[in-house]
Amino acid sequence: MKYTSLYRRYRPTTFDKLFGQEHIVRTLTNQVKLGTVGHAYLFTGTRGTGKTSAAKIFARAVNCLSPIEGSPCGVCEVCQALSTTATMDVLEIDAASNNGVDEIRELRDSVAYPPVHGKYKVYIVDEVHMLSTQAFNALLKTLEEPPTHAIFILATTEVHKLPQTILSRCMRFDFRLVPKDMIASHIRDIFDEIGKAYELDAIDAIATAGEGSVRDALSIADMCLSCSDGKLTHADVLDILGASDRGTLLSICEGILTGDSSRVLRDIDKTVRLGRNVNVLSRDLTATLRDIMICVITGEPDKSLADTYRSGISAIASRTDKDRVLRALSIMASLENDIRYTTSPRVVVEAAALRATLLKTDLSIEGLLQRVNQLEHKLASVESGVVSAPQPKPTPTPTIKQPTLADDSADTVWGALVRTLKQKGMYALYSCALEVKQVFFREGTLVARVDNSTDYNMLTNEVNTKEIISIISSLSGKQYAFVCENTKVEGNDLEAIATLKRNVGEDFIKIH
């Protein structure tokens, strides 16, 4: 006996069996019930979402002698006649073959003849965007003045490739990706019906891999049926898909988001050694990062995910931030093209995963932005007195301390301070200390001049001032006081004010 694929065997014959397209079904069935059928329809959407099935059901429904709730009854003589492939009343044209020129010409010639069985002749043009310009023009002529008995249903996955002249003449229906739950329950029903035992996780994996396409999910289910004899397990499905298991995926993503590069490489290696396909791994990583991003933004993981996976996603999401995930996601998502054109996909995936992991070596704009963000974050917390950067408590300075400096000029002391701040990992304070424009001693006080309020606020923050005093005192072995002056106050310049004072006389100048 010839094996019929699940997709053909379980192709819907009534609208209520068309999954996930309620918005379209409602309109089409109403048109059948009310007899307000149009002449040109455009069905768009990803492959496997039910465009052709909907077109075929509609073709029979408009002709059916006693439609039930807008769907064909399946038993009347017209339904019977139209269900055979030999019918002349429902014609399917595949635009992908030969650009469809001959078929469209034939269509033009035959459209004038009335239908044999029912009320309407229905032309279904699949992949209509593949038509050549000539074929489009021929089709357009027909669409402009269709005979009353003709209905055209144009189906396409790439609606943007259609000329405006065609679009403007059609009633457009956008087919959505079918929700995973719906696909899963459909597969469960089919397996129950044919008596195939399964693990729920296995069904979940098949539905996920279908990515919103019933057709894709059913062809995977087909593969699973032919590869597994007994109960279909989650591991079986992963084997068939070459998919990576979720625990490893979560671990790799966690490594990426926490900057643990050796873990990332180790886990990728483990996955590849198990014989997993690298392309699939890269796609799975992108999908996992996406799940984490959704959780970071909305505060909870997608409800349709399996429980153990959900808790893994929440745990990772709670320890990372939006920018970091977004950056990792965009790096991993952009891989799809790179992988296609490389002879060593593994290296490409590893390099990308590392780039997403190691912020410090990433000189892309996103990488730099991420680092600026981190610095700003540190700065803000230091300014607000909540010190998150490693900031040792200012220790009381021992008065007797061996000086470690070559001389005790202000420049030498400041230079040593800057180096010490860097060594201590106090990067926010370090970057401000670097920006100081001038340092000098004024009666035993070290004076640092800056020219902006950010540096000024940072250096005059009480905790920081204490830290600076502590460091310079221990470095030089002397007790110094420290002040910071901002030469740009409210747009005024201290130098300019000094000049003005000299020229005009101090009494005339009042500075707030």
Least distance (Å) between residue 113 CB and Zn ion: 22
Is residue 15 within 8 A of residue 71, CB to CB? The reply is yes
Query: Of 74 and 259, which CB lies nearer to Zn ion in the complex structure?
Result: 74
Least distance (Å) between residue 39 CB and Zn ion: 22
Q: Contact letters (x/-) for Zn ion, 393-432, by CB under 5 A?
A: ----------------------------------------
Least distance (Å) between residue 9 CB and Zn ion: 21
User: If 0-12 CB within 10 Å is exposed, 13-18 middle and 19+ buried, where does residue 302 land?
Assistant: middle
Buried b (16+ CB within 10 A) or exposed e, 168-189: ebbeebebebbebeebbebbbe
Q: Is 125 in the site for Zn ion (CB under 5 A)?
A: no
Q: Is 272 in the site for Zn ion (CB under 5 A)?
A: no
Q: Is 73 in the site for Zn ion (CB under 5 A)?
A: yes
Choices 11-19, 58-66, 187-195, 460-468; region in contact with Zn ion by CB under 5 A: 58-66
Least distance (Å) between residue 115 CB and Zn ion: 14
Q: Which of 61, 62, 64, 256 binds Zn ion (CB under 5 A)?
A: 64
Task: Give the CA distances from residue 471 to residues 196, 239, 249, 399, in Å, rounded to whole numbers and listed in that order.
Answer: 74, 61, 46, 12
Q: Is 62 in the site for Zn ion (CB under 5 A)?
A: no
Query: Of 72 and 255, which CB lies nearer to Zn ion in the complex structure?
Result: 72
CA neighbor of 496 nearest in space, from 504, 120, 45: 504
Residue 395: other Cβ atoms inside 10 A: 10
H/E element, 465:
helix 462-476
Query: Of 64 and 349, which CB lies nearer to Zn ion in the complex structure?
Result: 64
Structure letter (DSSP) for residue 393: P
The angle, 0 to 180 degrees and rounded to 10, between the axes of the packed helices 246-258 and 278-298 is 60
Pairing of β 171-174 and β 40-44: parallel
Least distance (Å) between residue 89 CB and Zn ion: 13
Which positions ≥6 away from 25 have C-beta within 8 Å?
15, 16, 18, 54
Least distance (Å) between residue 61 CB and Zn ion: 8
Choices 66-74, 106-114, 295-303, 427-435; region in contact with Zn ion by CB under 5 A: 66-74
CA distance 252 to 452: 43
Backbone angles phi, psi at 485, to 5 degrees: -125, 140
Q: What angle do CA 386, 389, 394 make, to 5 degrees?
A: 75
Q: Taking the alpha carbons of 103, 109, 112, 117 in that order, is the dihedral positive or negative? A: negative
Least distance (Å) between residue 73 CB and Zn ion: 4
Task: Give the CA distances from residue 216 to residues 94, 181, 191, 281, 286, in Å, rounded to whole numbers and listed in that order.
Answer: 20, 15, 16, 19, 19
CA distance 239 to 237: 5
The angle, 0 to 180 degrees and rounded to 10, between the axes of the packed helices 365-383 and 453-460 is 50
Choices 62-70, 233-241, 389-397, 401-409; region in contact with Zn ion by CB under 5 A: 62-70
Q: How many CA atoms lie within 13 A of 280 on its CB side?
A: 17
**End-to-end Cα spacing for the chain:** 97
Query: Of 76 and 287, which CB lies nearer to Zn ion in the complex structure?
Result: 76
Query: Of 117 and 169, which CB lies nearer to Zn ion in the complex structure?
Result: 117
Q: Is 352 in the site for Zn ion (CB under 5 A)?
A: no
Q: Is 500 in the site for Zn ion (CB under 5 A)?
A: no
Query: Of 32 and 124, which CB lies nearer to Zn ion in the complex structure?
Result: 32
Query: Of 64 and 382, which CB lies nearer to Zn ion in the complex structure?
Result: 64
Least distance (Å) between residue 68 CB and Zn ion: 8
CA neighbor of 14 nearest in space, from 63, 53, 46: 53
Query: Of 76 and 500, which CB lies nearer to Zn ion in the complex structure?
Result: 76
Q: Which of 76, 167, 223, 280 binds Zn ion (CB under 5 A)?
A: 76
Least distance (Å) between residue 51 CB and Zn ion: 22
Choices 79-87, 358-366, 410-418, 490-498; region in contact with Zn ion by CB under 5 A: 79-87
Query: Of 149 and 310, which CB lies nearer to Zn ion in the complex structure?
Result: 149
Q: Give the total of residues touching Zn ion (CB under 5 A).
A: 5
Least distance (Å) between residue 124 CB and Zn ion: 18
Query: Of 59 and 217, which CB lies nearer to Zn ion in the complex structure?
Result: 59
Least distance (Å) between residue 119 CB and Zn ion: 12
CA distance 81 to 87: 7
Query: Of 73 and 225, which CB lies nearer to Zn ion in the complex structure?
Result: 73
Q: Is 57 in the site for Zn ion (CB under 5 A)?
A: no
Q: Which of 6, 42, 59, 79 binds Zn ion (CB under 5 A)?
A: 79
Query: Of 151 and 418, which CB lies nearer to Zn ion in the complex structure?
Result: 151
Choices 75-83, 158-166, 292-300, 381-389; region in contact with Zn ion by CB under 5 A: 75-83
CA neighbor of 184 nearest in space, from 157, 207, 168, 160: 207
Least distance (Å) between residue 105 CB and Zn ion: 32
Query: Of 73 and 326, which CB lies nearer to Zn ion in the complex structure?
Result: 73
Which positions ≥6 away from 286 have C-beta within 8 Å?
329, 332, 333, 335, 336
| Residues at the contact surface with Zn ion, assessed by CB under 5 A | 64, 72-73, 76, 79
